[in-house]
């Protein structure tokens, strides 16, 4: 995605396009992996050493609230972030904690009665198991 498109998506989501926010968004969109907040800070700080940790974390939070970035919670490990616009599910490896994308398919919604007054926004899956790197090592034991 080019610079203009990133600016448009920020402004379109009601966020000002500050240089810091732009840097965080641009970095995240280039990543095929799912970096942690600490990794994102390290990367944007290399681009612009004036960007502080607090600013990076605040921008990340704003991007998540605006729906431009997804936060993938991984139990017992730091949350990972994802700015890919395309909907997808996730696979989390039990052994190495790697977070991988799984192609999107629609998931059946829960029966409306089970949600009570809750408002459902999205229905996505997290698959758990061993990734392609860890599975062979597991099998050979």
Residues interacting with Zn ion, by CB under 5 A?
A: 82, 93, 95-96, 98, 101, 131, 134
The distance of closest approach from Cβ of residue 77 to Zn ion in the complex, given in angstroms and rounded to an integer, is: 12
CA dihedral 65, 70, 75, 79 (to 10 degrees): -80
Rounded CA gap, 124 and 51, in Å? 33
The distance of closest approach from Cβ of residue 73 to Zn ion in the complex, given in angstroms and rounded to an integer, is: 12
Nearer to Zn ion, 62 or 82 (CB): 82
The distance of closest approach from Cβ of residue 37 to Zn ion in the complex, given in angstroms and rounded to an integer, is: 15
Instruction: Name the helix (H) or strand (E) containing 139.
Output: helix 134-139
């Amino acid at each position: 995605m080019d610079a203009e498109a990133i600016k448009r998506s920020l402004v379109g989501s009601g966020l000002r396009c500050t240089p810091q926010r732009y840097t965080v968004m641009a970095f995240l969109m280039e990543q095929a992996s799912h970096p942690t907040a600490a990794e994102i800070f390290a990367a944007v700080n290399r681009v612009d050493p004036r960007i502080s940790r607090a600013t990076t974390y605040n921008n990340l939070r704003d991007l998540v609230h605006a729906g431009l970035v997804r936060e993938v919670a991984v139990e017992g490990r730091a949350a990972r972030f994802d700015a890919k616009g395309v909907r997808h599910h996730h696979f989390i490896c039990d052994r190495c904690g790697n977070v991988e994308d799984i192609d999107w398919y629609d998931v059946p919604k829960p029966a409306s009665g089970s949600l009570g007054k809750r408002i459902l926004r999205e229905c996505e899956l997290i698959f758990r198991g061993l990734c392609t790197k860890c599975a062979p090592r597991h099998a050979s034991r």
